[in-house]
């Protein structure tokens, strides 16, 4: 019987049975190690995200909380309403402004500090690195509260300006200055991450290439432009994508600093989504988050195409 079974199941794969079973075992172990992350990711990210896509085609509201499938299918009505809502269109503009101004400035500041730490400042490098990274790990609520006091009409900034005989604006209640302050908070909160990643990238640039170029007469700017930056392109791509994705979903800064005001000038797409959620309009809120997702995907693809290193 045993012999018959063996003869009817020949090893046709060309891979020795022992090696194959070892491969299966390895794969199983890998899946066991992956399982905790996979479960958390599926539960808290993938499934809710996919559910949101589904909900965006329904009229799910606060009253349906206990029966989320007891709702009406509304096709693309939520998307039509979104793009007919002047407030949402304005918020897309606000968000893109945050990205277009915030990403380059955050990267420029992070890069400048990384270069300084990598070349000029050698002593106390660890101390400076810690100081520059501190805003990243500090509680944003506490930071925003301090910034509110600083930028209030009679806050620290205007008191300092008054010492020089200057009358500062009401930073957070002026449509011309509120968004710059919100962007500034975003930059202040994120330049540390950019700096750290740039520093890692700079330290991976081969010293001998730099030395060879120097021997050939290339100056500091020339080496930066022709050697350092091209070699840093993967790092630049990584940081720009990370920051863009983060800034496209900007929420904390406008929510805590201005609550989207004045006159809606700092309200972001994420804040709009949150507000609609608060109203119990889960269908519209889901549609707004899907629009954000699509925007993030499109912008990321464009960045990959523009910035990926040419081989």
Rounded Cα distance between 45 and 27, Å, is: 24
Closest distance of CB 51 from another protein, Å: 7
Contacts with 200 (C-beta within 8 Å, 6 or more apart), sequence order: 235
Residue 20 or 63: which CB sits closer to another protein?
63
Closest distance of CB 140 from another protein, Å: 14
Closest distance of CB 296 from another protein, Å: 10
Rounded Cα distance between 27 and 17, Å, is: 15
Residue 74 or 101: which CB sits closer to another protein?
74
Closest distance of CB 226 from another protein, Å: 25
Binding region for another protein (CB under 8 A): 49-51, 53-55, 57-58, 61-73, 81, 148-149, 152-153, 170, 173, 259-264, 275, 277-281, 297, 300-301, 304, 308
CB 294 within 8 A of CB 82: no
Of residues 252, 106, 257, the one with CA closest to residue 187: 106
Closest distance of CB 279 from another protein, Å: 5
Residue 61 or 210: which CB sits closer to another protein?
61
Rounded Cα distance between 265 and 169, Å, is: 16
Residue 62 or 104: which CB sits closer to another protein?
62
**b/e sequence 109-136, b meaning 16+ C-beta within 10 Å:** bbbebbbebbeeeeeeeeeebeebeebb
Closest distance of CB 185 from another protein, Å: 17
Residue 69 or 221: which CB sits closer to another protein?
69
Residue 152 or 210: which CB sits closer to another protein?
152
Residue 68 or 104: which CB sits closer to another protein?
68
Contacts with 206 (C-beta within 8 Å, 6 or more apart), sequence order: none
* Number of CB atoms found within 10 A of residue 77's CB: 17
Closest distance of CB 12 from another protein, Å: 28
């Amino acid at each position: 019987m045993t012999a018959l079974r063996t003869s009817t199941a020949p090893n046709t794969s060309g891979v020795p049975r022992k090696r194959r079973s070892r491969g299966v075992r390895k794969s199983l172990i890998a899946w066991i190690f992956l399982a905790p992350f996979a479960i958390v990711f599926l539960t808290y990210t993938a499934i809710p995200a996919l559910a949101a896509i589904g909900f965006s085609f329904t009229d799910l509201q606060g009253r349906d909380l206990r029966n989320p499938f007891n709702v009406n299918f509304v096709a693309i009505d939520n998307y039509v309403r979104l793009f007919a809502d002047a407030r949402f269109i304005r918020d897309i503009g606000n968000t893109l402004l945050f990205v277009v101004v915030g990403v380059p400035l955050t990267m420029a500041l992070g890069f400048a500090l990384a270069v300084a730490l990598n070349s000029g400042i050698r002593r106390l490098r660890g101390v400076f690195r810690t100081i520059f990274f501190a805003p990243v790990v500090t509680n944003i609520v506490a930071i925003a509260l301090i910034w509110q006091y600083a930028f209030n009409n009679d806050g620290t900034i205007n008191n300092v300006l008054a010492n020089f005989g200057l009358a500062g604006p009401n930073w957070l209640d002026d449509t011309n200055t509120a968004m710059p302050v919100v962007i500034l908070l975003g930059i202040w909160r994120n330049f540390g991450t950019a700096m750290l990643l740039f520093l890692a990238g700079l330290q991976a640039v081969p010293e001998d290439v730099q030395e060879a170029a120097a021997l050939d007469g290339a100056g500091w700017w020339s080496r930066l432009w022709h050697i350092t930056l091209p070699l840093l392109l993967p790092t630049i791509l990584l940081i720009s994508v990370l920051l863009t994705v983060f800034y496209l979903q900007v929420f904390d800064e406008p929510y805590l600093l201005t609550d989207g005001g004045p006159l809606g000038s700092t309200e972001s797409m994420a804040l709009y989504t949150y507000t609609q959620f608060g109203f119990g309009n889960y269908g519209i809120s889901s549609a707004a988050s899907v629009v954000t997702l699509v925007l993030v995907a499109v912008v990321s693809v464009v960045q990959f195409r523009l910035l990926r290193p040419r081989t």
